[in-house]
Amino acid sequence: MRIGELAKLSNTPTRSLRYYEEQGLIIPRRLENGYREYDPYLIDRAIQIRGLIDSGIPTKIIALILPCLDKARGIVPEDIEPELLAILRDERDRMTQRIEFLTRNRDSIATYIDAADEALARRTAGTAA
Amino acid sequence: MRIGELAKLSNTPTRSLRYYEEQGLIIPRRLENGYREYDPYLIDRAIQIRGLIDSGIPTKIIALILPCLDKARGIVPEDIEPELLAILRDERDRMTQRIEFLTRNRDSIATYIDAADEALARRTAGTAA
DNA sequence: TAAATGGTTGACACTAATGTGAAGGTCAAA
DNA sequence: TTTGACCTTCACATTAGTGTCAACCATTTA
């Protein structure tokens, strides 16, 4: 598929898709026209990248970990550099921290929302009665 | 305490602390000199803000949800605007999405790391034997 | 064939968050 | 009293990611 279709299917602006290519995250084939040609599996990849960027992970890190995410289901790495491994551990821990942070704060917001809902329900009930 | 001490304790550059003030996230008292004076509880708040920003939440959203996070433990909101409530629900859901995304990808990375470790262990064992 | 649609590159602009440096005020200690 | 550490504001620079526009090429359709 071409870039416009991928943009629709992955809900990602074409501008961003071209940027991801520039950053080495998604590199499509080219048709004779020069048009970008994307394989269908790249829909998921585009969505994944958007999610990671939205979570505060810079594209340079994403470029590092993407190959590992691909290989994760199956292929065992044989010649992995210890430096890359260290970076991966670091990033894994950073992500865990982020998850904990987000979870704590999300739960606080949820608690607040629930309290507000309850308060509203009480007031509505009182008004109705 | 003054800005330098808070910077050390919260591991946040003074530049960022001033920026947070500009964004209405942390507003310290002022001494007669004009120096910023921070209460100790603001250490946690600074750390919290850093975590949220690092997780991809923009300061404008943080400014909205911070008061709720404060109130979350205790004070029940009485006069909450339905618009704010809608924004909060939205943000809560967005954070949940982020958490799921991060968790999935973190787990993939972890799996990859474990596989690499195992492979290394096998090779080392073989070499030793 | 001409218009419409969608693709290409390139450039300029913008926001968010932070780095950095200038020019200067405050205060404690030598 | 002068040095040094820390503070102030102001301002310009930078990075990431995206928006947007210009000028042009390709393909389909009226």
How far is residue A65's CA from residue A88's CA, in Å, rounded to a whole number? 7
Q: Which residue do the tokens 């199956």 mark?
A: A74
Weakest-pLDDT range from B15-29, B48-62, B107-121 = B107-121
User: A92 to chain B, minimum CA–CA distance in Å?
Assistant: 6
What pLDDT does B126 receive?
A: 63
Comparison of pLDDT for B71 and A68, the residue scoring more: A68
The pLDDT of residue B47 is above 90: yes
Distance A118 CA to D19 C1' (A): 42
DSSP string of A5-65? Answer: HHHHHHT--HHHHHHHHHTTS---EE-TTS-EE--TTHHHHHHHHHHHHHTT--HHHHHHH
The pLDDT of residue B71 is above 70: no
A108 touches chain B (CB under 8 A): yes
Candidates B35, B46, B56; CA nearest to B6 is B46
Q: Which nucleotide is nearest to B61 (CA to C1')?
A: C16
For residues B87-98, give the mean pLDDT: 94
- How would you classify the pairing of strands A36-37 and B36-37? unpaired
What pLDDT does B45 receive?
A: 96
Residues 6 or more apart from A27 whose CB is under 8 A from it?
A21
B48 touches chain A (CB under 8 A): yes
User: How does residue B129 score in pLDDT terms, banded at 50, 70 and 90?
Assistant: very low
Residues of B in contact with A56 (CB under 8 A): 53-56
Inter-chain touch A106–B95, beta carbons under 8 Å: yes
For residues B88-99, give the mean pLDDT: 95
> Domain locations in chain B?
1-75, 81-129
Assigned token pair, A123: 């007031």
Assigned token pair, A28: 């499509």
Inter-chain touch A101–B71, beta carbons under 8 Å: no
Assigned token pair, A29: 């084939």
Distance B54 CA to C18 C1' (A): 13
What pLDDT does B72 receive?
A: 54
Pick the CATH number of A1-75 from 1.10.1660.10, 1.10.490.10, 1.10.20.140, 1.10.1760.20: 1.10.1660.10
pLDDT by 10s per residue, chain A, length 129: 999 999 999 999 999 999 999 999 999 999 999 999 999 999 999 999 999 999 999 999 999 999 888 765 666 667 778 888 899 999 999 999 999 999 999 999 999 999 888 888 887 776 654
How far is residue B3's CA from residue B17's CA, in Å, rounded to a whole number? 8
CA dihedral of B117, B119, B120, B123, whole degrees rounded to 10: 160
Kindly give the residue spans of alpha helices, DSSP state H, lying in chain B.
3-10, 14-22, 42-54, 59-71, 82-128
Q: Which nucleotide is nearest to B3 (CA to C1')?
A: D7
Q: Residue A82: how many CB atoms within 10 A of its CB? A: 9
The pLDDT of residue B110 is above 70: yes
At how many degrees (to 10) do helices B82-128 and B59-71 cross? 100
A104: helix, strand or coil: helix
Contact B57, A55 (CB under 8 A): no
Contact A82, A41 (CB under 8 A): no
Assigned token pair, A82: 């210890």
What pLDDT does A129 receive?
A: 46
Comparison of pLDDT for A70 and B42, the residue scoring more: B42
Q: What percent of chain B has pLDDT over 70?
A: 91
